Amino acid sequence: DISAEEQQFNDLIAQDSRIEPRDWMPEAYRKTLIRQIAQHAHSEIIGMQPESNWILRAPSLKRKAILIAKVQDEAGHGLYLYSAAQTLGVGRDEMTEQLIAGTARYSSIFNYATPTWADMGSIGWLVDGAAICNQVPLCRASYGPYGRAMVRICKEESFHQRQGFEILLELMNGTPEQRQMAQESVNRWYWPALMMFGPPDDDSPNSARSMAWKIKRFSNDELRRRFVGMLVPQAEVLGLTLPDPDLTWNEEKQAYDMGQPDWDEFHEVLAGRGQMNAQRMQRRRDAHDEGAWVREAAAAYAARQSATTER
Ligand code: ACO
């Protein structure tokens, strides 16, 4: 026996319709959305750091301008996503506090270092490529504000992916040292990019319910396989090798057989023990402290404005 409002929620999901902020929803649905959207927002914000590392060292003015715009786009994505999470009743301050305190998750991928310029290519091609593959289906997520935020984010991510591909293409058309730098970078980023899709399906506690609620449309492994299928022809065009000796076309399955990422490494990164976890968190805390005066000034201004209009 379920309530009329729960029946209505179930009907909306069954019809592939959308749940909006004022609709009734099960508490667990609200909680899982806050979890996923807040993590996603934090990822965009922390994700600014690995690339901002190269803004002052970009090899040309044109590359610098593109990189600044891209990092700025990531900030914008974080802001849309915080806004989408706020419609579920969680405060922006609360989410920020959790990130600063180190109790919130953000994507494992942003805990890897960016020692070479080629890493800007690999992040665009592999990391933003994986993000698109994961996020295009999220445009159809059952929760309206999340799905709608994803539409614009995916358009911008497509541009980011192409600029990464183009950086690698230019390096691959360059000197032997440049080609080597590109390949070395792809070797480092390939497996961490595959980890972005989350743990294997039989080790993914949230998948079944999120798929039943039509938040997720495909499983982690399914999206990972699709992503690899997309990469193979692009790697051929670039002349790059994907560092998986088990990657082979399976004629019978009409899909690629592939090796597995190092899941121990994944769990280490999630536990806060990755290459750059401590540094990313420290930078985020410092930025928050350095920005305190801006928040205070904005709050004082808003208070004065509302006092003036009340008069
Ligand atoms: N990095 C960090 N944490 C991860 C990752 C990852 N790559 N993959 C899974 N996890 C976490 C999950 O958040 C979950 O932890 P929690 O229960 O404490 O929240 C746990 O591992 C188990 O995973 P799942 O049960 O598979 O979790 P879920 O169903 O949420 O699927 C996924 C994970 C695929 C990442 C999903 O949340 C998602 O699609 N999120 C939106 C996309 C996103 O966040 N992208 C961020 C990187 S892309 C970018 O920002 C450019």
How far apart CA 142 and CA 37 sit, in angstroms, is 13
- Residues in contact with 57: Cβ distance below 8 Å, sequence separation at least 6, in sequence order: 117
Q: Which residue's alpha carbon is at the smallest distance from atom 17 of ligand 1?
A: 206
Q: pLDDT per residue over 22-56, tens digit each?
A: 999 999 999 999 999 999 999 999 999 999 999 99
Q: Which residue's alpha carbon is at the smallest distance from atom 18 of ligand 1?
A: 105
Q: Which residue's alpha carbon is at the smallest distance from atom 38 of ligand 1?
A: 36
Give the ligand 1 atom nearest the CA of 40.
44
State mean pLDDT over 146-175.
Answer: 97
Give the ligand 1 atom nearest the CA of 206.
25
Q: Which residue's alpha carbon is at the smallest distance from atom 5 of ligand 1?
A: 198
pLDDT of residue 300: 97
Give the ligand 1 atom nearest the CA of 205.
25
Q: Which residue's alpha carbon is at the smallest distance from atom 22 of ligand 1?
A: 204
Model confidence, pTM: 0.96
The answer on pLDDT for 311 being more than 70 is no
Q: ipTM more than 0.90?
A: yes
CA of 206 relative to ligand 1 center, distance in Å: 9
CA of 87 relative to ligand 1 center, distance in Å: 20
CA of 172 relative to ligand 1 center, distance in Å: 32
Q: Which residue's alpha carbon is at the smallest distance from atom 24 of ligand 1?
A: 204
Q: pLDDT per residue over 295-309, tens digit each?
A: 999 999 999 999 988
The answer on pLDDT for 266 being more than 70 is yes
Q: pLDDT per residue over 189-238, tens digit each?
A: 999 999 999 999 999 999 999 999 999 999 999 999 999 999 999 999 99
pLDDT of residue 1: 81
Q: In the chain, pLDDT over 70 holds for what percent of residues?
A: 100
